[in-house]
Each structure stands twice: as structure tokens, then as C-alpha cells.
């Protein structure tokens, strides 16, 4: 496959915000025709969680995936993380195939989920040490790095020794992001990293994500409910509706399109409504409760 050809298929508008990126070399993330169904109930047809989605992220880019609840954002992130297997399609991270070179891909990526997945009774230091060892980091080096990241996020040394469960949600989410970047992922998957945070923590996390892109050369795939956040952070935005990628463009491109095609005011909000057919707070889930865990 010729990279130059793939690069040429991109419209100039979608390349603009990633001027910093390196257009040559393999894509940071290449997803082709990803499809995932879940059989929840034998009597009902399977749920099409992700339906033939293809995206390509260039190195250094922040790509935002928007969509109502249940539109398939988390499933998509899990497919890229290798936590779910694809029914069809393929995923490549920096030229490594997710299925054939699983370990190589795993070393390149990390993921932050909505719920900060920690051992609640362990301290941030202990949780980070576990992560560092899993990813083969030297423990001394890991400790120095963690201290730097935590200081940057405004988490004092005192807090590092106390159980995670005693921290606020905002703090926990910061520790989760710190843990993810401790392993120096070149592709960072952030699944609603700011959902449920207070405005202050939200801003902190957003600023930090911007810094990550600027200083660490990280490529980020981000899902969010917050349109202002998407506009601020993302070079390109894709909108998922019922598992399908309804539209993909730069924030400006999206606004222009929704004005031209639907005659709506050029905002991300109206683009979201137009392409998902629902408002932000609607829930897609119909008559199907989430199982308690």
C-alpha cells in the first residue's frame, strides 16, 4: 500500500489543523471497515455497536469521536485497544497490525476510560508502579517520571501514598491520565476523560491534553460529550450515530457543512443534532437496560 496515495486521498481541509504532524510514514492509527455486533438476547437480532467504520489518524493529531450514548464510541475504542475482537475490518497502529503484532501494538497504546480503573485501596504510587512494571519500565525511572507528571497535574507528593478511593473523581481521572502517559504511548485513547468532572478539573485535564500533543508528540483519539471540548482540542471530529460514522471533518468544516446542507446555524451543536438526529442528552438505549456489574 502506498502511503503517498493514502495521504493524497485526504482533503486539504482535513490536513490543515495537523500541520505539525508528519504526513509521511505510517498512519498513527488506521482503522478500515471496523464492525462489531453483540448478541445480547438470543431472541433479538444482534446489536450493531460499530458498523463499518474507517478512520485514519496522522501522527500528532487529536481526533474527536462524538456521538450520543450508545452510539458505539467506547466499543470503537475497545476494538482499537484489542479489548474486543473485530467481526470484520482491521486496525493498524503505526504500521503494526493489531491481530498479527498484538504485543507491538500494545506497547504503543494506552487507554483512559470513563471510570478511573484503579485498585481503589492502593495508592496512586502503588497503582503507577504496577503499570510501570507491566510495561517493562525500570522502577526508579518510573518513579521519577511519575513524580514529574503528577507535579504537573497538581497532585502533591503527600497524595501519592494514600488510597485512590480517598481522592475526588477529578483527581482520580488525573491519576489515570498520568498512569497512561507514564508508559509513553504514541497513541493515546481517551474515552470520555472529562465526563463527570467539575469545570475546574475539566479545564486542567483539557490543558494537559493540549500539552501532551505539543510536548510529547502523542496522537490522541478522544471521545467526548462536550462539544466545546471537542472544538477546543480536536483537529478533526467524527460523529458516530448508531455505530456508523455519519460525518467526519474539521470543526470549521463541520459547521460549514451543517449550514450549507441543513441550513442550520453553523455550530457544533447543530451539527451534532443534524448528524445524530437527536440532542446531546438523548439516550440511544431503547428498552435494554445495562446489566449491573
Partner 1 sequence: MTAIQRDVRAGYAFVERNFNLTKRYWGWEVAFLVYAVAGALSVSLIGQSVGNRRLLMSLVVGAVFWNYLSVVFQSIGDTITWERWEGTLEYTMMAPVRRSVQLLGSALFAVVYGLIHTAVLLVVLALFFSLDLGHANLGAAAIFMVVGSASLIGIGMLAAILPMMSVERGSQMVFVLQSCLLLISGVYYSTDILPGWMQLLSRISPATYVLDAIRKALIDGASADQLLPDLWPLLAMAFVFIPVGLWGFGWAERYAKRTGKLKRVG
Contacting residues toward ligand ADP, per CB under 6 A: 38, 40, 47, 49, 67, 69-75
- In sequence order, which residues have a C-beta less than 8 Å from that of residue 65 and are 6 or more positions away? 73, 76, 77, 221, 222, 223, 224, 237, 238, 240
81 scored as a contact of Mg ion (CB under 5 A): no
Minimum Å gap between C-beta 154 and partner 1 is 23
Minimum Å gap between C-beta 67 and ligand ADP is 5
Minimum Å gap between C-beta 223 and ligand ADP is 7
74 scored as a contact of Mg ion (CB under 5 A): yes
Cα gap 108→95, rounded to integer Å: 11
Q: Which does 72 bind (CB under 5 to 8 A by kind): ligand ADP, partner 1, Mg ion, none?
A: ligand ADP
The neighbouring-strand residues paired with 249 are 237
Q: Which does 82 bind (CB under 5 to 8 A by kind): ligand ADP, partner 1, Mg ion, none?
A: partner 1
C-beta of 167 vs 271, nearer to partner 1: 167
Taking alpha carbons only, the member of 132, 131, 114, 112 closest to residue 209 is: 112
Grid cell for residue 50 = 460499530
C-beta of 81 vs 123, nearer to ligand ADP: 81
As a whole number of Å, the CA-based R_g of the chain is: 19
Q: Which does 291 bind (CB under 5 to 8 A by kind): partner 1, Mg ion, ligand ADP, none?
A: partner 1
Cα gap 129→133, rounded to integer Å: 6
139-152 and 124-134 helices, crossing angle to 10°: 130
Q: Which positions lie near partner 1, rule CB under 8 A?
A: 38-39, 74, 78, 81-85, 103, 106-107, 109-111, 113-115, 117-122, 126, 129-131, 133-137, 163, 191, 290-291, 293
Cα gap 155→159, rounded to integer Å: 7
Minimum Å gap between C-beta 201 and Mg ion is 19
DSSP, collapsed to helix, strand or coil, labels residue 238 as strand
Grid cell for residue 192 = 470520555
Q: Which does 122 bind (CB under 5 to 8 A by kind): partner 1, ligand ADP, Mg ion, none?
A: partner 1
Q: What backbone phi and psi angles, to 5 degrees, belong to 211? A: -65, -40
Q: Which does 69 bind (CB under 5 to 8 A by kind): ligand ADP, partner 1, Mg ion, none?
A: ligand ADP
113 scored as a contact of Mg ion (CB under 5 A): no
- In sequence order, which residues have a C-beta less than 8 Å from that of residue 239 and are 6 or more positions away? 66, 67, 245, 246, 247, 248, 254, 271, 272, 275, 276
- Which residues of the shown chain bind Mg ion in the complex (CB under 5 A)? 73-74
Amino acid at each position: 500500500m502506498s502511503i503517498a496515495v493514502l495521504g493524497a486521498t485526504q482533503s486539504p481541509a482535513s490536513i490543515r489543523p495537523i500541520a505539525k504532524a508528519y504526513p509521511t510514514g505510517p498512519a498513527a492509527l488506521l482503522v478500515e471497515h471496523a464492525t462489531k455486533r453483540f448478541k445480547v438476547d438470543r431472541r433479538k437480532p444482534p446489536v450493531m455497536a460499530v458498523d463499518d467504520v474507517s478512520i485514519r489518524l496522522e501522527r500528532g493529531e487529536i481526533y474527536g469521536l462524538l456521538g450520543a450514548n450508545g452510539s458505539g464510541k467506547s466499543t470503537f475504542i475497545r476494538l482499537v485497544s484489542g479489548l474486543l475482537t473485530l467481526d470484520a475490518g482491521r486496525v493498524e497502529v503505526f504500521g503494526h497490525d493489531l491481530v498479527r503484532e498484538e504485543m507491538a501494538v500494545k506497547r504503543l497504546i494506552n487507554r483512559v476510560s470513563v471510570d478511573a480503573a484503579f485498585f481503589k485501596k492502593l495508592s496512586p504510587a502503588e497503582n503507577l508502579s504496577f503499570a510501570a512494571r507491566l510495561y517493562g519500565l525500570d522502577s526508579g525511572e518510573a518513579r521519577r517520571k511519575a513524580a514529574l507528571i503528577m507535579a504537573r497535574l497538581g497532585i502533591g507528593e503527600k497524595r501519592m501514598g494514600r488510597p485512590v478511593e480517598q481522592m475526588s473523581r477529578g483527581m482520580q481521572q488525573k491519576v489515570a491520565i498520568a498512569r497512561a502517559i507514564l508508559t509513553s504511548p504514541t497513541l493515546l485513547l481517551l474515552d470520555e476523560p472529562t465526563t463527570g468532572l467539575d469545570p475546574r478539573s475539566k479545564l486542567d485535564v483539557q490543558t494537559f491534553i493540549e500539552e501532551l500533543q505539543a510536548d510529547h508528540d502523542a496522537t490522541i483519539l478522544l471521545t467526548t460529550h462536550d462539544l466545546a471540548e471537542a472544538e477546543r482540542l480536536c483537529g478533526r471530529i467524527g460523529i458516530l450515530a448508531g455505530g456508523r460514522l455519519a460525518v467526519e471533518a474539521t470543526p470549521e468544516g463541520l459547521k460549514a457543512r451543517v449550514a450549507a446542507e441543513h441550513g442550520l446555524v453553523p455550530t457544533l451543536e447543530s451539527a451534532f443534532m443534524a448528524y445524530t438526529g437527536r440532542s446531546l442528552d438523548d439516550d440511544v438505549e431503547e428498552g435494554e437496560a445495562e446489566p449491573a456489574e
